[in-house]
Structure 1
Amino acid sequence: MDSAEQGPGDLVLGLPSPLVELGDDRLREQGVTVYLKRDDLIHPEVPGNKWRKLKYNLAAVKDQGHKRLLTFGGAYSNHIRATAAAGHYVGLETVGVVRGEEHLPLNESLAYAARRGMALTYLDRAAYRRKTEQDVLEALVAEFGPCYVVPEGGSNGLGVRGCAELPSEIGIDFDVVCCATGSGGTVAGIASGLNGNSRALGFAVLKGGQFLHEEVRRLQRDATGGETANWALDYDFHFGGYAKRKPELDDFIEDFEARHGITLDWVYEAKMMYGLFHRIGSGDFARGTTLVAVLS
Structure 2
Amino acid sequence: MEHLTILYRGPLSSCDYDCPYCPFAKRRDTPAQLRADRAALERFTEWVSTQDHRISVLFTPWGEGLVRSWYRRALTDLSHLPHIDRVAIQTNLSHRVSWTSDADLTRLALWATYHPGQVPYDRFLAKCHELDARRVRFSVGVVGLPDHLEAAQRLRADLPSGTYLWINAAEGHTYTDAEADDWTAIDPHFPTSRHPHPSRGLACRTGDTVVSVDGDGTVRRCHFVPTVLGNLYDGSFRKALAPRPCPLDVCDCHIGYVHLEPLDLYTTFAGGILERIPARP
Q: Which has the higher strand share?
A: 2
For the superposition of Structure 1 and Structure 2, which TM-score range results when normalised by the shorter chain?
Answer: 0.3 to 0.5
> Which of 1 and 2 has higher RCO (CA within 8 Å, sep 6+)?
1
TM-score by length of 1: 0.35
TM-score by length of 2: 0.37
